[in-house]
Amino acid sequence: MKVGVDIDGVLADSLPLWVHELNRYFNKNIQFEEVSLLNIIQSYEVTPGELKTFLKQRGRYLMSAPSPLKGAAYYLSKLKKYHDIFIITARKKKFEEETRSWLQQNGILYDDLILLGSYDKKETCVENGLGVMVEDTLEIGLEVSAAGIPVILMDAPYNQGNLPELIYRRHSWSEIYQTLVVEPLQQVHSVNRGANWLFPPLAGPAKS
């Protein structure tokens, strides 16, 4: 199965770093629980031009400095034994060098990297035939799931609330691995073929 994986908020613990830099730049004291990277202009009450200037000065640092989320590299490497990993991010193409360097330095394994420069991921997910998308932004998850692609939503302060069909909240990479690998493998060996699993059994052996 092809698994789509976001970077910021899923592989990288980006929000605390962004909030620290935004607060310092705009002289604010906003808590990261109040901010979504999708709504920076609204959260900080700045203009698109002001945000553009901020990103021009601090963008490359923000793309290369966040810490990885706990367990991201470890469980993604285990996940890659069974699935193809497509990293799909809203980061702009001009940050590809910083992004690839960050992924390499933190031991993040993947099959393909797609930098969209946009939050519109639905078409890319459909075109690449993804079986699931791991995402932290609920608005993106709604669009992707509307195309019939299940979404695993990495739990975050800014994506709370009831979830619609095809969106499933998970709180860690351990839980994501459990959902995408352990439970399907258990189904293969389960006598109870009528079990209601999120994903179908994994077809065939692990990838070579």
- Last residue within a domain, chosen from 23, 47, 67: 67
Verify that 161 and 111 share a domain, yes or no.
yes
Residues 13, 16, 22, 25: is their CA dihedral positive or negative? negative
- Last residue within a domain, chosen from 22, 39, 67: 67
CB 82 within 8 A of CB 179: no
Strand intervals (E) in 48-166: 67-68, 84-89, 112-115, 132-135, 151-154
Strands lying side by side in the sheet with 167-170: 112-115, 84-89, 2-5, 132-135, 151-154, 167-170
Rg (CA), the chain: 18
- Last residue within a domain, chosen from 50, 67, 84: 67
DSSP designation for 103? H
Q: What is the pLDDT of residue 207?
A: 54
Write out the residue range of the structural domain in which residue 139 sits: 2-12+68-189
Verify that 107 and 161 share a domain, yes or no.
yes
Instruction: Please give the Cα distance from 206 to 60 (Å, whole number).
Output: 37
- Is residue 74 one of the residues assigned to a domain? yes
Q: What is the pLDDT of residue 124?
A: 97
- Is residue 178 one of the residues assigned to a domain? yes
DSSP designation for 8? B
Verify that 42 and 89 share a domain, yes or no.
no
pLDDT tens, 21-73?
999 999 999 988 788 777 888 889 999 999 999 999 999 999 999 999 999 99
Q: What is the pLDDT of residue 24?
A: 95
Place of tokens 């998970």: 170
The parts of the chain modelled with pLDDT lower than 50 are 191, 193-196, 201-206, 208
Q: What is the pLDDT of residue 32?
A: 80
